[in-house]
Amino acid sequence: MRRLFIVAVVILSFTGHSYAATKEELAKDIVKITDINKMTTSVITQVMHQQADQLKAVNIPAERQKDEAALRDKIKAKLEENVNWAKLEPEYAKFLTDTYTEEELKAILNFCSSAVGKEILKKEPIIMGKIMVMTQARVQSVYPEIQKMTRDFTESVKRVK
């Protein structure tokens, strides 16, 4: 009986991630397998592109181009300091353990470890990127109206005073 138990433990230890000891270990395994850390790089890149677009709209004179480059460097450093994976990873893992049961975490890990799960994880950033671009475009298209509505409201409040 003891041999059977030892054989079972050895077999289970080689069957993948689904038998991690704690929710925290499961969450850390999910974080690793999903490559969620790549998202932080993507976010920083997106913000930097947005900043570049905003600065282009200002038409910065040639004599201030070095200042613009210095500003971009400062912005990137600030983002990298605050949106870095070392700071985000523990919080992300906690989100997982706070949100999912141990059984759900095991299922997520098993799915993400499967061939289909790996393909979905590969394609998810593409879908999320398209969703972000679409959403930002829609927000930008109504932003002038929102600004006008806000301006009209604040002017009406000022008139009442």
Residues 45 and 97 placed together within one structural domain of the fold: yes
Which tens digits make up the pLDDT trace of 52-101? 888 888 888 889 889 888 999 999 999 989 888 888 899 999 999 999 99
Q: Does 133 lie in the same domain as 79?
A: no
Are residues 10 and 86 both part of a single domain?
A: yes
Question: Domain check: are 106 and 131 in the same one?
Answer: no
Domain count, the chain: 2
84 lies in the same domain as 103 = yes
> Cα separation of 36 and 40, whole Å?
8
What SS3 state is found at 15?
coil
User: pTM higher than 0.85 for the full model?
Assistant: no
Domain of residue 32, residue span? 2-113
In a shared domain, residues 130 and 93: no
Q: Can you tell me which residue has the tokens 């450093």?
A: 77
